[in-house]
């Protein structure tokens, strides 16, 4: 599956410095959004370092990603030539999926170890940390890694779903039935996991099948806190070309108040034409 993407980031209307960072590479199938944790020292350093370290880790394992993409292409050829029962069979093997999940988890945990270590050896960086939302596209599959409260959304037509879970105190209270989900929507909350806060972080890893025409959005909470208030703006953004959608998302968040840094990274999944 080929991709094309476009991202944008903005300081917002109330902050003096942008502590968000993002990265996208269609050749790697790698997309990352990080948000330096508010109130922590050097959040902008933590977010950019984490983006760079994840990119380097995945680049070092590019052969695995390419092999997975080739596996998916071979499966699709078998379907097209009638050697398999249908399109539902175009899936990566369980071992390949597990290896890709381990790759994303290792990339985030390596970044956590190094970012935390910087704070241990240099008092200027003590306590710095960041969220991390990572998508690795391999063949017809998205491997999603999540730490913190940045988010990944998937749009298929006008059906939009959130692929990640917020690691926040508020979301934990919702899951425990202490707070109604509708009352919690759009509210800020302390995060319960961050890259760099400690030497190790637990990374949520999930795998989602993709189709041509699907669109993904990776974003910081400076955008999604406003998207939570109504579904229509998010659907409208997904209908736009990614080159238009990213700056439009920035404008929307700023019009809504722009209380935080804002980052939006849109990814479109394109059909692959196979040769004989």
Domains of the chain: 2-270 (3.60.40.10)
pLDDT values of the chain reduced to their tens digit, one per residue, 276 residues? 899 999 999 999 999 999 999 999 999 999 999 999 965 679 999 999 999 999 999 999 999 988 888 887 787 777 666 655 444 445 688 899 999 999 999 999 999 999 999 999 999 899 999 999 999 999 889 999 999 999 999 999 999 999 999 999 887 877 777 776 666 665 677 899 999 999 999 999 999 999 999 999 999 999 999 998 777 899 999 999 999 999 999 999 999 999 999 999 999 999 865 543
How much is the pLDDT for 66? 87
Cβ atoms of 27 and 66 within 8 Å: the answer is no
CB 34 within 8 A of CB 50: yes
Helix pair 43-60, 94-121: axis angle to 10 deg? 140
Q: Decide if 36 contacts 47 (C-beta within 8 A).
A: yes
Q: How many residues does the chain have?
A: 276
Is residue 32 exposed (0-12), middle (13-18) or buried (19+ Cβ within 10 Å)? buried
172's CB contacts (< 8 A; 6+ apart) are: 192
Residue in this structure with the two tokens 């970012």, named with its chain if needed: 115
CB 47 within 8 A of CB 130: yes
SS3 state at 133: strand
């Amino acid at each position: 599956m080929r991709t094309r993407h476009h991202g944008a980031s903005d300081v917002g209307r109330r902050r003096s410095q942008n502590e968000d960072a993002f990265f996208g590479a269609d050749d790697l199938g790698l997309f990352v959004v990080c948000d330096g944790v508010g109130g922590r020292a050097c959040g902008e350093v933590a977010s950019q370092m984490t983006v760079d370290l994840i990119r380097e880790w995945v680049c070092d394992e590019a052969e695995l990603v390419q092999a997975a993409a080739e596996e998916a292409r071979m499966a699709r050829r078998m379907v097209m030539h009638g050697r398999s029962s249908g399109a539902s069979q175009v899936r990566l093997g369980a071992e390949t999926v597990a290896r890709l999940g381990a790759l994303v988890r290792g990339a985030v945990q390596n970044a956590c170890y190094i970012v935390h270590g910087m704070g241990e050896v240099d008092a200027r960086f003590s306590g710095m940390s960041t969220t991390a939302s990572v998508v690795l596209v391999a063949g017809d599959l998205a491997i999603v890694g999540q730490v913190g409260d940045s988010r990944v959304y998937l749009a298929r037509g006008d059906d939009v779903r959130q692929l990640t879970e917020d690691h926040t105190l508020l979301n934990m209270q919702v899951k425990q039935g202490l707070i109604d989900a509708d009352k919690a929507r759009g509210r800020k909350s302390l995060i319960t996991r961050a890259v760099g806060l400690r030497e190790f972080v637990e990374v949520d890893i999930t795998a989602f099948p993709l189709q041509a025409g699907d669109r993904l959005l990776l974003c910081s909470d400076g955008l999604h806190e406003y998207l939570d208030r109504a579904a229509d703006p998010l659907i409208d953004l997904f209908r736009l070309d990614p080159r238009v959608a990213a700056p439009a998302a920035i404008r929307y968040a700023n019009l809504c108040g722009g209380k935080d840094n804002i980052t939006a990274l849109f990814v479109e999944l394109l059909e692959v034409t196979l040769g004989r």
